[in-house]
Amino acid sequence: MTIKNCRCFACSKIQTIIHSIIKFTKAQGYLVLKIILVGLCLIFLYQRTRKIVFSEFKNLFVNSFTNHWELFLLAFLLVFVNWGIEAKKWKYLINRIEKISFLKAFYATMAGIAISSFTPNRVGEFAGRMMFLKNKTDTRVVALTIIGSMSQLLMTLIIGLPGFIQFLMNNQFFGLKSMHWINIIVILLPMLIVILFWNIPNIFNWFKNHFKENNMVKYITEGTSFINRKGLWYISMLSLSRYLVFCFQYILILLFFEVDMLWWQYALFVPAIFLIQSIVPSFVITEIGIRVSVALGVFQFCTSPISHIVAASTMLWVVNLMIPSIFGAFTLLTTKLESNN
């Protein structure tokens, strides 16, 4: 073997060793990162649940389950429908950037719930989802995820608006003078979001034309260029379907705990609760006490015992957020993350 061939062979061996070291370090780094994220998720969930005295609801839950077990089972199964629709929406949004299976999109959605449980303003939701993509730093995905969140917020505002106005009118805290301004705000805000949402293609084209030299703006607008009016309509229908599932799920849990109301009160005030929760900062609304307070404030007309309303609000949080967070943490910890960096 010549000296030249020996050098080439040595260089090849060195490159192989370096790549192996980098691959091992990257794998160990992902493992450490996943353990830290899962640990934070479980700690924050524990901090929130330890304040709940489940023994107070034990007898109520046992009696309700004995009489209405089918309502609880249906509400629990709707968790997968609810987050499955969200996964389908996200899969559709990022389809032009990276094609993934529905199962992978569902796992990514669950991981996003887990990480968002301890991050303010749900910023962890983006990080959790992007960890399941090959390119984990693609800012185009963040822009597309925001579009999906806007469509969900739009449904929450529009459908919850009538009940929210009715709630304010029946609340003694607000005077007649302040009600005038409140009505203007709660009507103008959804209108503004509707205008922004349905003009997303025009907004991105404006940014693309006015910031041609900015590579970051160009990169993001190219990633969202396929979102046209037809795509926005499809996303809106998925958001509407998910919202209706969520409302139906809450009504089932209220019926499970025998919180008696008229049908129009369910239809009017359950969306109002979701609207108020969307107004409160997301880091605060993850606290169970805040959710319970909102429900008690809106359902103040209800003649059912307060303990039943508290139990229903707590159960909705456990079923729709706590259990998916634990599932998402387990998914994040056991899934092998890919990368093309």
pLDDT of residue 72: 94
pLDDT of residue 165: 80
Alpha-carbon span 171 to 151, nearest angstrom? 29
Alpha-carbon span 193 to 200, nearest angstrom? 11
pLDDT of residue 91: 94
Alpha-carbon span 337 to 334, nearest angstrom? 9
> DSSP label at 246?
H
- 6 in a domain, yes or no? no
- 247 in a domain, yes or no? yes
- 7 in a domain, yes or no? no
pLDDT of residue 87: 95
CA 136 to chain centre: 19
- 8 in a domain, yes or no? no
> DSSP label at 189?
H
- 339 in a domain, yes or no? no
**Mean pLDDT for each 10-residue chunk of the chain (341 residues)?**
47 48 53 83 82 74 90 95 95 89 93 85 79 80 84 89 79 57 70 81 76 71 75 92 95 93 89 86 61 85 87 91 91 73 50
pLDDT of residue 285: 46
- 340 in a domain, yes or no? no
* Contact in structure between 147 and 200 (CB atoms under 8 Å): yes
Tally Cβ neighbours within 10 Å of residue 62: 10
Tally Cβ neighbours within 10 Å of residue 148: 18
pLDDT of residue 121: 65
pLDDT of residue 10: 44
pTM above 0.75, yes or no: yes
pLDDT of residue 300: 83
Q: Exposed, middle or buried: residue 281 (CB in 10 Å: 0-12, 13-18, 19+)? A: exposed
Range of the domain at 228: 19-334
> DSSP label at 174?
S
CA 321 to chain centre: 9
- 312 in a domain, yes or no? yes
Q: How many domains does the chain have?
A: 1
- 14 in a domain, yes or no? no
